[in-house]
């Protein structure tokens, strides 16, 4: 169960690194516009806002990775718990205010990782 928890938390971190890249560096590309359902004009006018969002997603990923690789396992689990809850809150807010699919794309993996982490504790 510990390995499965580690894998799911790592996947959530990797997903948020991917989102960071899309929002900070690829926002104006067709790939990012398709992922976020934006137009060329909207992407151009919101580039700095998207980069800011990307940075926050990077903080979430960094926190999860910090928790995964913390030498003290108990403290590492607490860190993972905190950041997974942050991801869930962000997913619920994003799902309610921006795009419903965020609940599934970001919220579901975080929820599964959180449940697995709680089973390990």
pLDDT in tens, 5-48: 999 999 999 999 999 999 999 999 999 999 999 999 999 999 99
What local confidence, expressed as pLDDT, does residue 38 receive?
95
Domain assignment of residue 51, given as a range: 2-120
Please tell me the distance from the alpha carbon of residue 25 to that of residue 12, in angstroms, as a whole number.
Answer: 20
Please count the structural domains in the chain: 1
Contacts of residue 26, defined as CB under 8 A and 6 or more positions apart, other chains included, come to 32
Q: For all residues of the chain together, what is the average pLDDT? A: 96
pTM, two decimals, is: 0.94
Instruction: Say if CB 49 and CB 68 are below 8 A apart.
Output: no
What local confidence, expressed as pLDDT, does residue 121 receive?
80
What local confidence, expressed as pLDDT, does residue 1 receive?
81
Please tell me the distance from the alpha carbon of residue 66 to that of residue 58, in angstroms, as a whole number.
Answer: 12
């Amino acid at each position: 169960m510990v390995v499965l928890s580690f894998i799911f938390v790592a996947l959530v971190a990797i997903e948020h690194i991917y989102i960071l890249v899309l929002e900070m560096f690829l926002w104006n590309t067709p790939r990012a516009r398709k992922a976020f359902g934006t137009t060329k004009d909207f992407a151009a006018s919101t580039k700095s806002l998207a980069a800011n969002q990307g940075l926050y997603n990077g903080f979430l990923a960094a926190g999860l990775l910090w928790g995964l690789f913390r030498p003290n396992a108990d403290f590492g689990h607490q860190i993972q718990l905190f950041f997974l809850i942050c991801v869930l809150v962000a997913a619920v807010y994003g799902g309610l205010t921006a795009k419903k699919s965020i609940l599934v794309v970001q919220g579901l993996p975080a929820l599964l990782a959180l449940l697995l982490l709680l089973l390990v504790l």
